[in-house]
Amino acid sequence: MPQDPDHPPAKRFKPGSPFFRLDKKPGMLLPRKGNASVPIDVQRKNLPIYQAKSQLINQLRQLHSAVLIGETGSGKTTQIPQYLYEAAIGRQGLVAVTQPRRVAAISLASRVAEEKKTQLGKLVGYTVRFEDVTSSETKLKFMTDGMLLREAIGDPLLLRYTVVVLDEAHERTVHTDVLFGVVKSAQRKRREQNKVPLKVIVMSATMDVDLFSQYFNKCPVLYLEGRQHPINIFYTKLPQSDYLQAALVSIFQIHQEAPASHDILVFMTGQEEIEALARTCRDIAKHLPDNCGPMMVIPLYASLPPAQQLRVFQPAPKGCRKVILSTNIAETSITISGIKFVIDTGMVKAKRFNPESGLEVLAVQRVSKAQAWQRAGRAGREASGSVYRLYTEEEFDNLLPMTVPEIQRCNLASVMLQLLALGIPDVMNFDFMSKPSPEAMRTALDQLDLLGAVEKKDEELVLTPLGKKMASFPLEPRYAKAILLSPDFQCSEEVLTIVSLLSVDTVLYNPPARREECLAARRKFTTSEGDHLTLLNIYRAFKKVNANKEWCRENFVNSRNMGMVGEVRSQLREICLKLSMKLESCGADTGRVRRCLAHGLFMNAAELQPDGSYTALDTHQSVAIHPSSVLFQGKPAYVVFNELLHTSKCYMRDLCLVDADWLVEAAPEYFRRKLRPTKS
């Protein structure tokens, strides 16, 4: 495991050398021999974990709880479930393996099914939000942590499962943190009630696992012998003001100097910047001089369609270098072979939270030291490698040692709603591994109260009938509320569509090379009512032409994601029907839809100021309309928005025009306090 003192003294490099004359195109590409030629059974036996197999099985058979540590790529996630199955441990029920990310759950399930030589969905399956690929035969079930949490609402003792593997525990996502508590309590209650015991295996790629072991009654920690090769660490001489430019220069510097079979992994912060850099790299790579081979640039981020994600595992053709531009997803949850160079921008996009206001902001920020080491480690998986840190050694020294668990920096409204739905009596004293601040918990409960989801009964906080219904949707409380209120405004069909559109990856396709064409096509659907209604117009037009692919192409609409919207929508609709809701369409009267959205999103409202800027009504902080919004040019007096993104400014994304009256009507008490006196 990489630790500060064990690393070789850092060398220094300075990105910034200008590169290349642009002239020649790459020639024909031939496939390079990759891992694919090694039979899969042999690949399994070559994994570091294989050495410890029998020992592991013996220990896991005896233990109720265990923590397992091993370097990323040692085989924990793919092998442990199979070892348990082969040793008939917990065969009476299912083995659940939780993942923080849906992509990881899907790709791991596919891989394990392949290793087991069965069809996905039979012995090995997966369950992620809006998608369930399991059957009555399924014994090994990969799932997102959020899905297991959802199942716990109907089955708090998790009786279907005999083993729960909490994987990627070091990531400390909110859902994993809540699951720790839920699983621990299920385990204890099953013991007390003499039910089939529940085995809990916590898996982590980092060493700091004392907390996990403490929490699970001081359970043993099993270490897997790592296979980490030495890594050269390079820092920049000077702080970089533009990490993207620094990354670009570093990529081509390496590309110019290193053998083509040495792949590069670049850690960046998000989809937009990854796609932009990918385009730039491809453009430059088209015009490289003779002495430079071709380059295959592959983006990797969580919302990429699974089929495209699988591309990162495919070896590049011979003589061609693979350059993977990834979010922190490749830090631990996805292992890619062939990586010799890591470029670490030192940045990550993560949630930040203001506990007083309950407003959550996505912001690009510095990684922790633990994350930086994890990123560096990706370069030394198969042989020695190098990491280029696009920051100075001094900047590294000033990083936080550990990433703060998400539960301590996010809005807890969903968590609190789920805990209450699980029937946990005293949520403020829930057995969290790392307790969120009391203010953050209280703010979340206040928000649920504002949404009408909770009430006091005999001094105890419980869900209202509306709150219970809200918990039955796999959605954030505010969207669930909008759906539940939609019958009052006779616009359920529309609100269902909008929430579904917001639940999948964007249906808008924005190729930068055809920007003008794309804007012209989009103008047909744009409305001054805002982004939600513009999306609704696109969906309606899409339906009118019967999901015609040609239409999608002409209108820059991603037809695959549109297909997903349809699926999500019918699932949400089913939940509505189970709740006996009357589902109507408002037709052309879309004001109803906006009024309904105001009732769900009123806590994210902003008001135009005399100077043309906006102020968030909740925090009174200054916010701006994101340039991607259809309202960017306009100056509506009041808007509600989906989220805040903090980059150069604090931007509101996905906006909907609303009336001040609707906000007041949604939460009279709250707005009496928030709105400026002249407006009320």
Binding site for ligand CDP (CB under 6 A): 47, 70, 72-79, 107-108, 111, 313, 335, 337
Task: Kindly tell me the sign of the dihedral angle through the C-alpha atoms of 213, 216, 221, 222.
Answer: negative
Task: Kindly state the tokens that stand for 676.
Answer: 């400026």
Any residues with CB less than 8 A from the CB of 216 and at least 6 apart, and which?
Answer: 65, 67, 184, 200, 202
Shortest distance in whole angstroms from residue 112 CB to ligand CDP? 8
Nearer to Mg ion, 77 or 253 (CB): 77
- Phi and psi at residue 479, in whole multiples of 5°? -75, -40
* 107 contact, one of Mg ion, ligand CDP, none, CB 5-8 Å limit per kind: ligand CDP
Query: Do 152 and 161 touch, CB atoms closer than 8 A?
Result: no
Shortest distance in whole angstroms from residue 459 CB to ligand CDP? 46
Binding to Mg ion (CB under 5 A) within 61-100 occurs at 76-77
Shortest distance in whole angstroms from residue 65 CB to ligand CDP? 19
Tell me whether strands 605-608 and 638-646 are parallel, antiparallel or unpaired: antiparallel
Cα Dmax for the chain: 79
* 78 contact, one of Mg ion, ligand CDP, none, CB 5-8 Å limit per kind: ligand CDP
Shortest distance in whole angstroms from residue 76 CB to ligand CDP? 3
Nearer to ligand CDP, 377 or 530 (CB): 377
Cβ burial of 65 (10 Å; 0-12, 13-18, 19+) is buried
Shortest distance in whole angstroms from residue 38 CB to ligand CDP? 10
Edge to edge, what strands does the sheet with 263-267 contain? 11-13, 231-236, 385-389, 339-344, 263-267, 321-326, 295-300
Nearer to Mg ion, 165 or 663 (CB): 165
Shortest distance in whole angstroms from residue 344 CB to ligand CDP? 19
Shortest distance in whole angstroms from residue 64 CB to ligand CDP? 22
Shortest distance in whole angstroms from residue 263 CB to ligand CDP? 14
> Residue 316 corresponds to which amino acid?
A
Shortest distance in whole angstroms from residue 549 CB to ligand CDP? 30
Nearer to ligand CDP, 76 or 478 (CB): 76
Crossing angle of the two packed helices 591-601 and 477-485, in degrees rounded to 10:
140
Cα–Cα dist 221/213, whole Å: 7
Nearer to Mg ion, 76 or 150 (CB): 76
How many residues appear in the chain? Answer: 680
* 601 contact, one of ligand CDP, Mg ion, none, CB 5-8 Å limit per kind: none
Q: Which residue has tokens 């991603």?
A: 558
Any residues with CB less than 8 A from the CB of 142 and at least 6 apart, and which?
Answer: 97, 99, 105, 106, 108, 109, 112, 124, 125, 126, 127
Cα–Cα dist 391/387, whole Å: 11
* 116 contact, one of Mg ion, ligand CDP, none, CB 5-8 Å limit per kind: none
Any residues with CB less than 8 A from the CB of 391 and at least 6 apart, and which?
Answer: 235, 236, 239, 240, 243, 346
Task: Kindly state the tokens that stand for 466.
Answer: 């509306």
Shortest distance in whole angstroms from residue 348 CB to Mg ion? 19
Q: Which residue has tokens 């059957």?
A: 135
Q: In a 3-state reduction of DSSP, which class is residue 495? A: helix
Task: Kindly state the tokens that stand for 121.
Answer: 């969905």
Residues 324-363 as x/- pattern, contact with Mg ion by CB under 5 A:
----------------------------------------
Nearer to ligand CDP, 80 or 616 (CB): 80
Cα–Cα dist 467/567, whole Å: 25
* 313 contact, one of ligand CDP, Mg ion, none, CB 5-8 Å limit per kind: ligand CDP
Binding stretches for Mg ion (CB under 5 A): 76-77
